[in-house]
Chains A and B, each alone.
Chain A
Amino acid sequence: EDQVTQSPEALRLQEGESSSLNCSYTVSGLRGLFWYRQDPGKGPEFLFTLYSAGEEKEKERLKATLTKKESFLHITAPKPEDSATYLCAARSNDYKLSFGAGTTVTVRA
């Protein structure tokens, strides 16, 4: 069964304090690893798609990387507006998306 695990569950950062979020996945034939941002009570907002080990993508203070078993979302010099829940999802060879439970990031000014 496809499984996606995110850690930590929650992360409290001081503004400017860089950190990383982890996403471990076990899926049948990875067809894409996705990162989304979700604000409370809203739908997930697409951030990145990674397809192969070694691939990296960046957007502002966020950088996503992929290995054969994990993906990392690095947040560099975060600001309070980066506070959100970050969801990781893996797409298997039957093209179904399996989500992790998310990491809730709080950035204090």
Chain B
Amino acid sequence: DAGVTQSPTHLIKTRGQQVTLRCSPKSGHDTVSWYQQALGQGPQFIFQYYEEEERQRGNFPDRFSGHQFPNYSSELNVNALLLGDSALYLCASSFGTGRDTQYFGPGTRLTVL
């Protein structure tokens, strides 16, 4: 049973560029949540997708957007990258929008130069 997968593993971008990160949920899961984890900090909630719609959002600007596909996979897009966007981006999947445990992928390490 495949767990949550994310791609790419690492990414280097320059300020002002745009980036797309991808996530495939664990088999049987239909909900994807995205988190940003800065070095030495806990993950911070960005948003959650269920039934191809954004259901909840954390305190992140509109530069952060996402999408969920009919097969439940998801993308995180970040526009106009800032140095402060450098972080580990984590995807977590679950069944349903709230009550189930979230299982995390390995993350994508984004470095903005």
State the A residues within 8 Å of B (CB).
4, 6, 31-32, 34, 36, 41-46, 49, 87, 89, 91, 94-102
Point out the residue from A36, A45, A91, A96 that lies within 8 Å of B58, measured CB to CB. Answer: A96
**Secondary structure call for the B interface:** loop
Contact check, B104 vs A43: say whether CB atoms are below 8 A apart.
yes
Contact check, B99 vs A101: say whether CB atoms are below 8 A apart.
no
Given contacts A87-B43, A95-B98, A96-B56, 6 further A-B contacts (CB under 8 A): A41-B88, A43-B90, A44-B104, A46-B103, A89-B42, A99-B43
Which residues of chain A are near B58, meaning CB under 8 Å? 96
Contact check, B109 vs A49: say whether CB atoms are below 8 A apart.
no
Known: A87-B42, A99-B42, A102-B42. A49 touches B101 (CB 8 A): yes
Which residues of chain B are near A98, meaning CB under 8 Å? 45
Known: A43-B106, A96-B58. A31 touches B43 (CB 8 A): no
Between-chain CB contacts (< 8 Å), 30 pairs:
A4-B42, A31-B98, A32-B99, A34-B101, A34-B102, A41-B88, A42-B106, A43-B4, A43-B6, A43-B90, A43-B105, A44-B43, A46-B103, A49-B101, A87-B42, A87-B43, A89-B43, A94-B56, A95-B98, A95-B99, A96-B45, A96-B58, A97-B33, A97-B43, A97-B45, A98-B45, A99-B35, A101-B41, A101-B42, A102-B41
